[in-house]
């Protein structure tokens, strides 16, 4: 009896020891990949702009870390572990603050949730993701994903012959860290920024394609976010904006009873915000994707002033 329990104890200790070693090896590999990714980073001074005043940024050695400095309004933006921070989470307000926190917490399970959600809808994640990303027309230029999350759309962008540099922004540092680990593991050259969709840290007319999936319904200010996506898109560039219809939000409320609490019982019914797209945008349309669970708004920024007036 005594011998049996000694053997059991030894077995357990061995199991714990081996698991610890495997975990340590995994952490070391992850740290090395992240470092390699960080070393690849270079200042994107031709792309970034001050999110507050749109001034051109300079590289600066800040007290806490290297980063960017805006000479026009004297604001500093540190770069932490390769990710420029264009917002401070403590400055966020309203729904933006709540959702940044929620996504920080749930980031660990978001990938799995996404796969399960597509299975529930009755399609593969690849089919669903491509339904949106295949519509982008980057023509070899830069692509921006606003609210990139942990990078679930990246496999359908990176390596595509018509896709140039890829940039991704999110308000949740938790999501961005997952995204960073993922792109570092894949060895992808993707630039990530912590920021708010309503105040994008990019220069005007910078991206050939801009897209957003899954957050806009609950932004503080949808109009500001759409105007920002238009501002940073290049003339002639395509913008896609997708999110769930009302029936999708109601499904969340059933599955996650805490979800409704964030609106103090006053959540407005979801309507695709096509009316917030500036009138001058061309080829405006809204259509169903993901078997009717999501809407997608699609438009093109006019190429020239002439095209705008037509």
Ligand X SMILES: C[S@@+](CC[C@H](N)C(=O)[O-])C[C@H]1O[C@@H](n2cnc3c(N)ncnc32)[C@H](O)[C@@H]1O
Q: Applying CB under 5 A, does 45 fall inside the site for Zn ion?
A: no
Q: Give the span between the Cα atoms of 271 and 273, in whole angstroms.
A: 6
Task: With contacts defined by CB under 6 A, name the span among 66-74, 154-162, 195-203, 296-304 that binds ligand X.
Answer: 195-203
Q: What is the DSSP letter of 274?
A: G
Q: Which does 172 bind (CB under 5 to 8 A by kind): Zn ion, ligand X, none?
A: ligand X
Window 47 to 106, contacts with Zn ion (CB under 5 A) = 50, 52-53, 55, 70, 72-73
Q: Which does 191 bind (CB under 5 to 8 A by kind): ligand X, Zn ion, none?
A: none
CB 78 within 8 A of CB 59: no
Q: Applying CB under 6 A, does 197 fall inside the site for ligand X?
A: yes
As measured in angstroms, the least distance from the Cβ of 114 to Zn ion is 35
Q: Applying CB under 6 A, does 172 fall inside the site for ligand X?
A: yes
Phi and psi (nearest 5°) for 69? -130, 140
CB 298 within 8 A of CB 135: yes
Q: Which does 53 bind (CB under 5 to 8 A by kind): ligand X, Zn ion, none?
A: Zn ion
Q: Applying CB under 6 A, does 144 fall inside the site for ligand X?
A: no
Buried b (16+ CB within 10 A) or exposed e, 189-228: ebbbbbbbbbbbbbbeebbbbbbbbbbbbbbbbbebbbbb
Q: Applying CB under 6 A, does 196 fall inside the site for ligand X?
A: yes
Comparing CB distances to ligand X, the nearer of 298 and 302 is: 298
Q: Give the span between the Cα atoms of 209 and 229, in whole angstroms.
A: 10
Q: Applying CB under 5 A, does 200 fall inside the site for Zn ion?
A: no
Question: Which residues are near Zn ion by CB under 5 A?
Answer: 50, 52-53, 55, 70, 72-73
């Amino acid at each position: 009896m005594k011998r049996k329990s000694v053997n059991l104890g030894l077995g357990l200790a061995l199991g714990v020891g081996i698991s610890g070693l495997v975990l340590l090896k995994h952490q070391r590999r992850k740290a090395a990949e992240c470092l390699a990714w960080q070393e690849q980073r270079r200042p994107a001074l031709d792309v970034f702009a001050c999110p507050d005043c749109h001034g051109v940024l300079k590289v600066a050695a800040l007290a806490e870390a290297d980063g960017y400095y805006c000479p026009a309004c004297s604001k500093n933006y540190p770069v932490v572990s390769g990710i420029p921070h264009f917002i401070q989470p403590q400055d966020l307000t309203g729904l933006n603050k709540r959702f940044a926190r929620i996504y920080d917490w749930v980031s660990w399970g978001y990938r799995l949730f996404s796969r399960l959600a597509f299975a529930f809808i009755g399609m593969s994640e690849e089919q669903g993701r491509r339904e949106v990303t295949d519509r982008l027309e980057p023509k070899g230029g830069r692509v921006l994903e606003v609210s990139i999350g942990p990078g679930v759309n990246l496999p359908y962008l990176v390596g595509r012959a018509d896709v140039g540099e890829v940039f991704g922004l999110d308000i949740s540092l938790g999501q961005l860290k997952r995204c960073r680990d993922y792109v570092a593991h894949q060895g992808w050259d993707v630039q990530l920024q912590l920021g708010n969709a309503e105040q994008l840290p990019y220069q005007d007319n910078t991206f050939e394609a801009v897209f957003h999936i899954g957050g806009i319904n609950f932004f503080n200010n949808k109009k500001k976010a759409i105007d920002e996506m238009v501002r940073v898109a290049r003339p002639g560039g395509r913008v896609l904006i997708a999110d769930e219809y009302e029936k999708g939000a109601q499904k969340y409320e059933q599955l996650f009873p805490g979800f409704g609490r964030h609106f103090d019982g006053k959540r407005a019914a979801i309507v695709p915000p096509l009316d917030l797209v500036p009138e001058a945008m061309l080829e405006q349309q809204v259509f169903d994707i993901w078997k009717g669970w999501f809407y997608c708004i699609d438009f093109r920024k006019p190429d020239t002033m002439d095209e705008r007036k037509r």
